Structure 1
């Protein structure tokens, strides 16, 4: 039985009660949401007369899962058919902020009751047993993105990743239809699928730890100020996500928020140093805990310390659909960075 049919069977009674489905409601197992470049398959698509329910099933409600449903809404809005669509996220755990965002986006959140086992959603796992976003695998993938076309051996030597691991990563990309062979070389053939996999596997917002507001004219000026202070005080701090991507690409990004990595033990010290600049109304600085070494290969761009291009692409892709424009710009310029 296909995975989405197993999932539907395990949740059928819960869905019938919560959505008041008729006896004629049924799963649409091959339902695709697509345009000229994107082909996406939701966890569940249920049809009941002229109503269609587009559903994602997650352990925890997140900004990324909301972004995925928003992408579905955007693509489906371009259709002209007889159906009324309702967008739903089923999860075990949620928080007030994410619930408010989902409500504002017109997405319903259904919480599974305590004691109900969360079904496995195998169809959502793009990496076939290997994490594409792990340090070594991402080194392989980012090298392939930069070179456009390369061999496994060339990637292994360049990135100092073992041939065995490089081969395993490339094999996973090939098996998922993300990469393809051209003679003896490998190329990324489905960029959208790769970026969707990154957003699912390593949601950047899962690394969020704290937010502060500082007096400042813009996110860029604030990032430059913090970079100068942390350099003087010998504190590890590197900007990433929209902040770094904007500097790398020249793409205009939101000017009211800066994004930075810091070690947990340094955050309190930085806040003490910046205490006179902290305000209730100013530039937002969102701080994230690194899940790998992001500081060693950081660099300065326009007096702002930023993570490497590869780390920036990983983080901005991890923002999901909300960052799709700047992510595409990073991909387009990546080889030259």
Structure 2
């Protein structure tokens, strides 16, 4: 096959770069300025009211956003209900514990009255994810908008979500396959500053961890004993037994990273990012400088929010079903 002339190669590269830029340009912070100017106010008020009645809402919405974008990109596929012939993402094993879908439903219902058939569920979820971070004391940023909603949701796809038992190699590969780098991995893991985990996600670290160690030696010993008390063996365990992800679990801050360095991260995946030189320096930097973490979190959230943006999807009238 003959090589292309240099002029043609340059033209091809420029065309590719132009297409890439246009793809990014399809999302715009001012996308709804004229078609639905009350959009952000309505979503923020809905999220705030829900959070006042249920303090678990912020962590749940942030997790919902991550799990949506990691499957088919940010297309609100996690919001679709299962049908008699197809089991949807929300009913896949990793998403069984994802809750508070009603918050997105409420925001959508209000927006359908204010500006019918205009705002996508994918944009609502993306804006709500920003709002729960800000309302919890974290940073704020302008959300790029203009996403369309997907029509496909498969529970089987959820097996591709990073698990709390993942090692660093698995985590890096998972993030890289989605165009996210090591810094994004460590930064977005900081979302664990909000929320609570049931024992099932970390109990493997507490008993029969390995042939040499009953308890994961990377866990702080006092912390490990505390976790064992909260997570006794079945059937002596309370149904909702577990532990908060950090010591300020309702506040978005850098405490998560401080606790990792003290051996008090809950998950094996948490320990993975502090136990390797490729990622530890980032953990240390974020533990020392909360503003540094906040600034990088904004950058990584914008990057995550650009994943799999649909050009030819739809704007659902009801976030739970396709039109």
Larger RCO, structures 1/2 (Cα 8 Å, 6+ apart) = 2
Normalising by structure 2, what TM-score? Answer: 0.30
Normalising by structure 1, what TM-score? Answer: 0.29
Which structure has the highest helix share of the two?
Answer: 2
Which structure has the highest strand share of the two?
Answer: 1
